[in-house]
Amino acid sequence: MIRNVIKVLIADFVLLSSVFLVLQDLQVRAAYAASPHHACSQLCSYSPSFSYGLLTQFFTMDGNGQHLVSPSTLDWVQIVAVALVVANAWFAYAAILKRNDGETRGAD
């Protein structure tokens, strides 16, 4: 039982750490897009944002009379969240099966 709890904690830690790293990457991208660039001679001013769909995301930038949209990409936060739910459901299912198997053997 303790081994399964440790497995769940390790899986959750790895998945939550990857969510943290993905969010840090998104913040860096948004900060870079919002900063003035050398090519614009400090005149460009963009307002970056993210739009989300089912397991996808779009990076949009508005400013200087332009609306720029990136191609859709996978939203890794949503994918890791799904993996987190699936992993925890799998561990819970395995624990319930193990407990029921132990109760069945104890009744014999």
Residues 51-79 pLDDT 10s: 888 988 888 888 777 788 888 888 899 99
What is the C-alpha to C-alpha distance for residues 15 and 27, in angstroms, rounded to an integer? 19
CA–CA–CA angle 51, 56, 61 (5° rounding): 30
Residues 85-102 pLDDT 10s: 999 999 889 888 888 887
What is the C-alpha to C-alpha distance for residues 55 and 79, in angstroms, rounded to an integer? 6
What is the C-alpha to C-alpha distance for residues 66 and 28, in angstroms, rounded to an integer? 22
Domain ranges of the chain: 2-102
Flag whether pLDDT at 108 surpasses 70. Answer: no
Nearest to 87 by CA among 23, 20, 14, 24: 14
pTM of the model: 0.70
Residue whose tokens read 């904690």 = 9
